[in-house]
A = this chain, B = another copy of it.
Amino acid sequence: MTTTGSPALDARAIRAEFPMFVAPRPDGRPLHYLDSAATSQKPQVVLDAMNAYYRETNANVHRGVYEMAAEATDRFEFGRTAAARLINHPREALVLTKNATEAINLVAWAWGARELREGDEIVVTEMEHHSNIVPWQIVASMTGAKVLFAPVTPQGEVELDALRALIGPCTRMVAAVHVSNVLGTINPVREIVEMAHQAGALTMIDATQSVPHMPVDATSIGSDFLVFTGHKMLGPTGIGALAASPERLNAMEPFLGGGEMISDVTTEGSTWAEIPWKFEAGTPPIAEAVGLGAAVEYLEALGMDRVREHERATAELMINALGEVPGLTILGPTDPDRRGAAVSFTLDAVHPHDIAQFLDSKGVCVRAGHHCAKPLMRVLGTQSTTRASAHVYTTDEDILALQGALIECRSWFGA
């Protein structure tokens, strides 16, 4: 680890550990990557771990007698252990999936499609990513259940009183995002989980944008289900996780059926393996779990408290810097203590696509669009926003480059 002993992260030193920032771009453009909320860059140690797995001990897991297969299993299960440790969750109740979206669908299908009845209600917030809306809509349409949306204020906060009022005796599930991928809002998930549990409903927390950026304690959040995804936390694509209460997992029927997840298969029927394997059908994302384990170790070595402090400081800087751009409006909370460093904004009448395109020519990568949160876009009264988002490798220069490019952009498009 090349970070200094001081409390603050040294983002410049961290960049040196990410191959994406080390090699110059072929056309000489700088790289101010401000799209980490979409996906993060990967440190060399993550690529190394996956390459070493493929070179040294690639074999299918869990059943092989030969040593290389046992070693492959160890490295794979190490990824699970690391991910569970990061969020303070029992490892046997951490199911590895292909992404956060599959993890939510696992619950929607394995639990919802079987258990929901006509008239049952699923409560989500207007701030959810499509991945925490559409699975519920799909199983609702199959079962006759309804999906209700808790309102979000124009300032980008969940209206807790309205949410409380929505939760009632028909509520079977309350699903809420921990940190908004659009606005950066940090939601009071413990409070939301408590509200739901008091009404006897289950809870799903989408921690996709929190786990990469701050200490997250799944045990203290206390939700029945919590999901996150590898590629946003310095890990590879192709892996995500569902952290569930062990009792809940044991009580649930399986989702995907196939190899690995069975105890016995006969022509009459089948019985299931222990958790978590009961929910992992087929050859799992082995190298990806290895990479995720390396990403977790990297984050742990940085220290999640310091990662959060860097995120807070970056959010603060970004909000200040963007505030100085004429014609720019920041959406969502402006208090850096209450948000992550994913910041959405509008710039006069310049369209987000044009902003993102212009910024790209200056080496600044940002996202433009609805950010898979169309219901939230309607609340905000827009079709799309531009979003800049940070991670541990984001420096002050990145933010200043963003600011400068935005000022130029505005005049270029004649706004």
Query: What residues of chain A have their CB less than 8 Å away from a CB belonging to chain B?
Result: 19-20, 23, 35, 38-39, 41-42, 47, 50-51, 54-56, 58-60, 63-69, 97-102, 104-105, 108-109, 113-114, 126, 129-138, 141-142, 147, 149, 229, 231, 236-240, 253-262, 264-267, 269-270, 281-288, 353, 356-357, 359-360, 365-369, 372, 374-375, 378
- Contacting pair A281 B368 (CB below 8 A): no
A283–B59 CB distance below 8 A:
no
Contacting residues, chain B, for A129 (C-beta < 8 A)? 258-259
| A46 (CB) vs chain B CBs: closest residue | B54
Nearest-neighbour CB distance to chain B for A175, whole angstroms, equals 12
Nearest B residue (CB) for A100: B282
Question: Are B126 and A267 neighbours in the complex by a CB distance under 8 Å?
Answer: yes
Q: In the complex, are the beta carbons of A264 and B374 less than 8 A apart?
A: yes
Interface of A is mostly: mixed
Query: Is A59 touching B238 in the complex (CB atoms < 8 A)?
Result: no
A229 to chain B, nearest CB (A): 7
Other-chain contact of A368, B65, B114, B236, B378 (Cβ < 8 Å): B65
Q: Min CB distance, A39 to chain B, in Å?
A: 4
Residues of B within 8 A of A265 (CB): 130, 133-134, 374-375
- Chain B: CB-nearest residue to A367: B64
Report how far A142 CA is from B267 CA in the complex, Å.
17
A378 surroundings in chain B (CB, below 8 A): 266
Provide the residues of chain B in CB contact with A229, threshold 8 Å.
282-283
Taking the closest CB of chain B, its distance from the CB of A116, in whole angstroms, is: 13
Q: Which residues of B contact A253 (CB under 8 A)?
A: 138
Q: Known contacts A256-B102, A283-B39: does B66 contact A359 (CB below 8 Å)?
A: yes
A102 x B262 contact (CB < 8 A)? no
* Residue with the greatest number of chain B CB neighbours at <10 A, chosen from A65, A100, A102, A239: A65
- Known A-B contacts A267-B149, A374-B265; the reply to A257 vs B135 at CB < 8 A is yes
Pairwise interchain contact B131-A257, C-beta atoms closer than 8 A: yes
CB closest chain-B residue, reference A364: B66
The residue from B68, B238, B281, B375 contacting A101, defined by CB atoms under 8 A apart: B281
